[in-house]
Amino acid sequence: MPKVITIERHLLEQQRHFPQATGAFTNLMYDIALAAKLIARETTRAGLADILGMAGATNTHGEEQQKLDVYADQTIYRMMDHTGRLCIMASEEHAEPLHIPDHYPCGSYVLLYDPLDGSSNIDYNVSIGTIFSIHRKISEGERGTMADLLQPGYRQVAAGYVIFGSSTMLVYSAGRGVHGFTLDPSIGEFLLSHPDIRVPDKPKYYSVNQGYERYWSEGIRRYVEWLTGRDPEGTGPGLSLRYIGSLVADFHRNLMTGGIFMYPADRRDPAKPHGKLRLTYECAPLAFIAEQAGGYASDGVNPIRSIQPHDLHQRIPFFVGNRELVERVEEYIRRYDADWVEQYREQTRLAQDEAVSV
């Protein structure tokens, strides 16, 4: 009989590498897996249950929330608020930090999450996902603070995502490689199906919303020409295009096949010069996974992991995938978008100064 490794067994085996571990991290991951199962149960019934459609409320970005977003958001919070493992949380769906209620104890970890990313796809049965990022508490005092939430990506203890697709998978890294588990719905267990995931050396796909090409900078346009082998020298790798429009699904596919995902800054909306995706909830955790699998992530100027967030909901350009592809886009941006880089640096510096003075 093949060796069946449940997520519980895997986590306990990992814990043995840390003799001082109290088990809090292992249990936190186990709580996440349990929340994932509950969300999976609802997403797979989405077409049947009377759950589709808008819940009526709008989230912090002015977008209408759908019922499953609300369900996923509340499920994660409620699963975590009383365990004594976390000191503070933040969710993409809430403008403000989520504090642990006073009557519950606090622990030494910090959780940031995007409860259900790609929710505009729910109505069409397209894969969606949950993304999470775990830090250690750095503030003094019992309760967590904003300083605990606004830590750069390189300080993450662990990160991961759950993809609700043709099957449900949980993929995570705690700094010892990237491991993927598939939910066996018949026994309700996540089983280790993808140990030690590595990005293949030879990339297959590039993923970007090509419909926005007219808003792209010179650097991005030339880079995509290169990717597709249409550059003047004809030296590009000639990749195929795949774009689902659901970050977790696009990221997961490229992690397995090799390639690059990008959501660059564009000129569509002068009020949003920094792209769409959020540093703390989306880019930093996926950057952590990518790097643990041998890839790399950048905002086009700096490694994602080096960026000090100044706002919980900060948006940044995002390029992630095979290292040489991401480094190449940085080169194109340096060469063709120098003005933009200068402006981006200046805006980031001002936003950071403002955040510090508040």
Nearer to ligand AHM, 43 or 246 (CB): 246
Asked whether 157 and 176 are in contact (CB, 8 A), the reply is no
List 247, 284, 289, 304, residue binding ligand AHM (CB under 6 A): 247
CB of 166 to ligand AHM, least distance (A): 18
Quick one: which of 75, 130, 246, 322 contacts ligand AHM (CB under 6 A)?
246
| Smaller CB separation from ligand AHM, 189 or 282 | 282
Of positions 44, 83, 139, 209, contacts ligand AHM by CB under 6 A: 209
Closest contact distance (angstroms) between CB of 301 and ligand AHM is 20
CB of 114 to Mg ion, least distance (A): 4
Locus of tokens 């000090």: 308
Asked if residues 254 and 321 have their Cβ atoms less than 8 Å apart, the reply is: yes
| Residues in 259-298 that interact with ligand AHM by CB under 6 A | 263, 276
**CA neighbours closer than 13 Å in the CB half-sphere of residue 51:** 18
Residue 184: helix, strand or coil by DSSP?
Answer: strand
- Surface-to-core class of residue 351, CB atoms within 10 Å of its CB (0-12 exposed, 13-18 middle, 19+ buried): middle
- CB 247 → ligand AHM: shortest distance, Å? 3
Q: Which of 303, 266, 300 shows the shortest CA–CA distance to 284?
A: 303
Nearer to Mg ion, 239 or 284 (CB): 284
3-class SS of residue 180: strand
Residue ranges in 176-274 assigned as alpha helix (H) = 218-227, 247-257
Q: Decide if 171 contacts 199 (C-beta within 8 A).
A: no
Range in contact with Mg ion (rule: CB under 5 A) among 106-114, 150-158, 177-185, 198-206:
106-114
> Quick one: tokens of 345?
């640096």
Kindly provide the b/e burial profile for residues 115-145, where b requires at least 16 CB atoms within 10 angstroms of the residue's own CB.
Answer: bbbbbebbeeeebbbbbbbbbebeeeeeebb
Site for Mg ion in 137-176 (CB under 5 A): none
Location of structure tokens 């409860």: 115
Residue 281 CB, nearest approach to ligand AHM (Å): 8
By CB under 5 A, name the one of 73, 117, 299, 337 that touches Mg ion. Answer: 117
Q: Is 83 in the site for ligand AHM (CB under 6 A)?
A: no
Give the Cα separation of 135 and 141 in Å (integer).
16
Q: Cβ 121 to ligand AHM, closest distance in Å?
A: 8
Q: Does 114 bind Mg ion (CB under 5 A)?
A: yes
Q: 27 is in the binding site of which of Mg ion, ligand AHM, none (Cβ under 5 to 8 A by kind)?
A: none
Q: Could you tell me the strand order of the sheet in which 259-263 lies?
A: 240-241, 205-207, 259-263, 318-321, 296-298
Q: What does 119 interact with, of Mg ion, ligand AHM, none (CB < 5 to 8 A by kind)?
A: ligand AHM
By C-beta, is 63 or 346 nearer to ligand AHM? 63
Part of the chain binding ligand AHM (CB under 6 A), chosen from 2-10, 29-37, 112-120, 301-309: 112-120
Q: Compare residues 253 and 276 and give the one whose CB is closer to ligand AHM.
A: 276
Minimum CB separation of residue 256 from Mg ion in Å reads: 21
Using CB under 6 A as the criterion, which residues of the chain lie in contact with ligand AHM when the complex forms?
63, 117-120, 209, 245-247, 263, 276
